Amino acid sequence: MAKASEASLGDLHGAIAEGLTEVIENGVTLGIGEDGKPIKATASPAFFAAGIAFLKNNNITADPGTNDKLKNLQDKLQNKRQDSKNRLNASDLKTLEELGERELRDMGLPLQ
């Protein structure tokens, strides 16, 4: 069986970078709802893992400094990570609730 050419693997690398960018921006369409609108979902982790494993196994790399599409993808991922860091989780909300209740009790106000 013949191996894929470096050009073919390079093309695949570009297609995966474009596909990942598309999915991160727009999700994937699962079908059409009864209202005629697309049903969207984010890509599963398996989608990303398969693409990354294929590229790694074939020693395909890219430099965000020289690849605008990869740089764009990297920036979007960093923004998503930053956005998630700025969100309160359930534990944070519980702590805030407890602090608020304590403040109300200290002020002599009834809790509902």
pLDDT in tens, 5-42: 989 988 988 888 788 778 777 778 888 889 999 888 88
Angle between helices 45-57 and 6-26 (to 10 degrees): 160
Give the pLDDT band of residue 112 (cuts 50, 70, 90).
Answer: low
pLDDT tens, residue by residue, 53-101: 777 877 878 777 888 888 888 888 888 888 777 777 788 778 878 888 8
Residues 13-27: b if buried by 16+ CB within 10 A, e if exposed: beebbeebbebbeee
Amino acid 69 reads K
In the prediction, which pLDDT does 36 show? 92
Amino acid at 8: S
